[in-house]
Structure 1
């Protein structure tokens, strides 16, 4: 028979891990200079626009 698993312990450990990852992302972003933040936002915007530009939409009358 398998050992019982404490789901509360698992849930809390997962929440701690996610919080730690978010804190690392925040520390990396907020530790940058204003110019680097601006550049990072511009690069993300460019990536999003290029992705959207490649979208193929079906003709309006086609169902």
Structure 2
């Protein structure tokens, strides 16, 4: 597969590495909402013990 095709698939939301995707999602959550959302953000580190138990981290 060419890099161009891979980039097109990524633009559509294709995830190549689920562990990396989960890490990025949790990291964004740890930094708190960026859109003015009223939902409270999780405590930093609250998700990390959970990822180690599931075998994904």
Normalised by the length of structure 2, the TM-score is 0.33
Normalised by the length of structure 1, the TM-score is 0.31
